[in-house]
Amino acid sequence: EPEVPSFIASKVSQYSCQRKTTLNNYNKKFTDAFEIMAENYEFKENEILCLEFLRAASVLKFLPFPVTRMKDIQGLPCMGDRVRDVIEEIIEEGESSRAKEVLNDERYKSFKQFTSVFGVGVKTSEKWYRMGLRTLEEVKADKTLKLSKMQKAGFLYYEDLVSCVSKAEADAVSLIVKNTVCTFLPDALVTITGGFRRGKKIGHDIDFLITNPGPREDDELLHKGLLLYCDIIESTFVKEQLPSRKIDAMDNFQKCFAILKLYQPRVNNSSYNTSKNFDMAEVKDWKAIRVDLVITPFEQYAYALLGWTGSRQFGRDLRRYATHEKKMILDNHALYDRRERIFLKAGSEEEIFTHLGLDYVEPWERNA
């Protein structure tokens, strides 16, 4: 049988930061089911079971072959009973009845719709669901609801925002952001992070990291025009503050969850569009695109880049590894060595891996 000879299940690390995970997933059948289970637990705010399924998904994404028998997962980490039950059923039946139940569950379906709106998270969904609301149409029709500025923008540009961002759109936006930033800060470094840096061809948003070498003059950058919608979060980072221990820590950088207006060349379908009566004004020639802009001090750039490149699971495991294997605390700003009681400086991602005693993992190998 075509088994990869160098693959030894018992040597697979429980930490995804010690594995190389490309976008080449041989076990999508399984990982899709796990991600549905995980999302349902997230909606129920059951972090433990959510992480159990996300970790299992991440292990199967790393496997260099498709799982076809229970023997294939023998010795692998993160394969608890709940996970094994789902795998077994998919092997035998071709699909998971539990994942299917979730997809048909009323609460899950409502939360899935609600959280697809920019600015709506689990907390808001919970509130709407308790009020008896079930669909986005019902939410929109309820005039007693007080929507935040972010949620109003989310509904206004909903269709554009749920349609994913392509690599081509990311490249176009990248040029605009770079040009705009450089007119204010000529020496600034602008880097695409998130899924696109990991080689993904589509994403739900485009993440940028902006830093300015030399003296800090970037505070005003986000306050100058460029954006359709912009929610600026001021930096709350205080010098010498210890890294956060939270598993999904929100960082303290100045950042902006924005919606950008991307003008697109109109698709010119000459047989229809040349009509004299064709009203050009009615054709929307732009698309709303979600963009995260994160401004980082130059000394923290490497940590911010590592954190914002993700994947989320890769970041969680880096922090868990730092805490449990190295007695260090890692977040998007810094790495603190608790034994030595010092902050470890890093000018590149490679140096952070070295501080942690880890082999370097390339961005496209962080799709855990």
Which residues participate in catalysis according to the annotation?
205, 207, 292
CA dist 160 and 359 (Å) reads: 40
Edge-to-edge strands, sheet with 286-296 = 189-192, 206-211, 286-296, 254-263, 229-233
Evaluate whether 316 touches 288 at the Cβ level (below 8 Å): no
Q: Is 205 near ligand DCP (CB under 6 A)?
A: yes
DSSP string of 117-137, one letter each residue: STT--HHHHHHHHHTT--SHH
Helices 28-43 & 106-115, crossing angle to 10 degrees?
90
For ligand DCP, how many residues bind (rule: CB under 6 A)? Answer: 16
Considering only 31-39, 164-172, 191-199, 321-329, which stretch makes contact with Mg ion by CB under 5 A? 191-199
Nearer to Mg ion (CB atom), residue 23 or residue 141: 23
Q: Is 315 near Mg ion (CB under 5 A)?
A: no
| Cα 45 to Cα 40, 115, 212, 306, 307, distances in angstroms | 9, 14, 38, 27, 23
Q: Is 244 near ligand DCP (CB under 6 A)?
A: no
152 contact partners, CB below 8 Å, separation of at least 6: none
Per-residue interface string for the shown chain with ligand DCP, residues 301-330, x marking contact by CB under 6 A? ------xx-xxx--x---------------
Q: Is 296 near ligand DCP (CB under 6 A)?
A: no
Q: Is 363 near ligand DCP (CB under 6 A)?
A: no
CA dist 140 and 114 (Å) reads: 11
Shortest Cβ distance from residue 205 to Mg ion (Å)? 4
CA dist 144 and 290 (Å) reads: 27
Nearer to ligand DCP (CB atom), residue 130 or residue 246: 246
Nearer to Mg ion (CB atom), residue 42 or residue 72: 42
Q: Is 203 near Mg ion (CB under 5 A)?
A: yes
Which residues are near ligand DCP by CB under 6 A?
Answer: 194-195, 200, 203-205, 207, 250-251, 307-308, 310-312, 315, 332
Which residues are near Mg ion by CB under 5 A?
Answer: 194-195, 203, 205, 207
